[in-house]
Amino acid sequence: MDNQNNLLRQLLMIGIGTTSLVAEKLQEATDQWVKDGTMNTDQAKRFVDDMMQGLRLDHTSLEELMQRQFRNLMQDVGVPRQSELDELRGRLDRLERQMRDLENRLWR
């Protein structure tokens, strides 16, 4: 399970790095537009803010999609979910208790 979380974390970090690079390039472009007189400082700031807001929304959607796809992939290859493991542990605990009870009855 740790490897799965690590892989997902790495994929998310790649997305964050890409978003940072886009933000940097957007800022460079708007700085140049302001310098050229194509837009004023307020327009440039609004433009960057709007673009970054859109990227954040896309990033959230992408993150949710990646998590869903990752869970599906893990299920397809037979990796049990945490809830399934917890259920099996509970069943195993009950069986062990039953075995101890039976052993205790036999020795009385």
Structural Rg of the chain based on CA atoms: 26
pLDDT digits (tens, 9 = 90+) for 33-43: 889 888 888 88
Domain ranges for the chain, please list them: 8-59+81-107
pTM: 0.43
Q: Which residues does 4 contact at the CB level (< 8 Å), separation at least 6?
A: 70, 74, 79
Exposure string for 11-42, b = 16+ CB within 10 A, e = fewer: eeeebeeebeeeeeebeeebeeebeeeeeeee
What pLDDT is attached to residue 77? 83
What pLDDT is attached to residue 5? 63
What does pLDDT average to in each consecutive run of 10 residues of the chain (108 residues)? 63 68 81 88 85 71 76 82 93 96 90
